[in-house]
Amino acid sequence: MLTRLLLPLGFGLAVSLGALAAEVRILVQSSPLAGFQYHAGETLWQDMRAGDRLALVREADNPHDGNAVRVEWRGQKLGYLPRAENRAVAAALDRGEPVDARIAKLREHRNPWQRVLIEVFVVL
């Protein structure tokens, strides 16, 4: 079928024709969640699932990081995009570009930096 035909987009990416009718999401970042142990993550852990949508909220006035991007799940603050990896996403949010995020993986681990992996997408 035509909807299963893949079109090359460059950089090794491809999209199905069916996806063109809706929206195209390109993965731009895969990161651990920073600050998980300091926010609501521990109390929400049992309810969170891989694939759950996350909200990204720009915090330009954050005193610790001018590129801070807060990560929320169902209105609750879970943490932040890591400081070393947040500049491009912060700039996209500042420009009003559509950016989505989701929980990619949850795992039991003593190190809070290893508990939640998130993925960030640009939406075309």
- Which two tokens mark 74? 């169902």
Q: Could you give the C-alpha distances from 46 to 10, 49, 50, 58, 107, in angstroms and in order?
A: 40, 8, 11, 26, 11
Q: Using one digit for the tens of pLDDT, what is the confidence trace for 30-39? A: 999 998 878 7
Q: What is the pTM of this model?
A: 0.77
Q: Which CATH number fits domain 24-123: 3.40.50.970, 3.20.20.70, 3.40.50.10320, 3.30.70.2330?
A: 3.30.70.2330
Share of the chain above pLDDT 70, in %: 81
Q: Using one digit for the tens of pLDDT, what is the confidence trace for 9-46? A: 444 444 544 555 578 889 999 999 998 878 777 778 88
Matching residue, tokens 């991007």: 69
Please, what sign has the CA dihedral across residues 94, 71, 83, 62? positive
Can you give the residue ranges of every domain in the chain? 24-123
Question: What local confidence, expressed as pLDDT, does residue 61 receive?
Answer: 96
Angle at 122 (CA atoms; ends 118, 55), nearest 5 degrees: 50
Q: Using one digit for the tens of pLDDT, what is the confidence trace for 88-105? A: 999 999 999 999 999 999
Give the mean pLDDT of the chain: 83
Q: Using one digit for the tens of pLDDT, what is the confidence trace for 75-88? A: 999 999 999 999 99
